[in-house]
Amino acid sequence: MFADPLDVCIIGYDETETLVRKPPELYVVVTKYPRFAGSQDKACGIASPERPASLIEGNKYDTSVASTIIEAKWFHYIPIYRCQDLFFGSGWTPSRSTLLNIVTQSVFVLTSLILYMNRLVQNETAVRIDDTSCQMLLPREIPDSNRVT
């Protein structure tokens, strides 16, 4: 980056707009990221701090939007084409491909949670269901879930 942090001046900002869902309203959060340029040495060029990871490149959709789609699809059993109606009342009508893209990009966030919960269940001798229990029936050898067959 720059040799001397005091030898820089802000020359402008890069802006990203993120759609956030706050039931039943949607609003856009504008985040400004500073761009720096060296004031003495022109060879340094322009630099900007690293941005945090987001679901969609450019941080267009907040995790609240993704969680609303995932909740509707897998907890309330609403098909994707009807998930459009959840946002329509707030003034935004996403296409089905946009909804599917958001769900697909959410996989990298949910994968570690699913693997963790999977390990928890596999380490138990009994899985509790409501007030009853269900005995786990395991094969003699548990197949490796990471191995591709």
pLDDT at 103 over 90: yes
**Three-state secondary structure call for residue 89:** coil
Place of tokens 């060296």: 38
Distances (CA, A) of 105 to 17, 59, 98, 102, 146: 18, 12, 11, 5, 21
Task: List pLDDT tens digits, range 108-145.
Answer: 888 888 899 888 888 877 776 676 666 667 677 766 66
Task: List pLDDT tens digits, range 59-91.
Answer: 899 989 999 999 999 999 999 999 998 888 888
**Three-state secondary structure call for residue 17:** strand
Closest CA to 70 of 37, 114, 10, 134: 114
Beta-sheet pairing, 132-135 with 46-47: unpaired
- According to DSSP, the residues that pair with 8 across neighbouring strands are 38
pLDDT at 148 over 60: no
Q: What is the pTM of this model?
A: 0.64
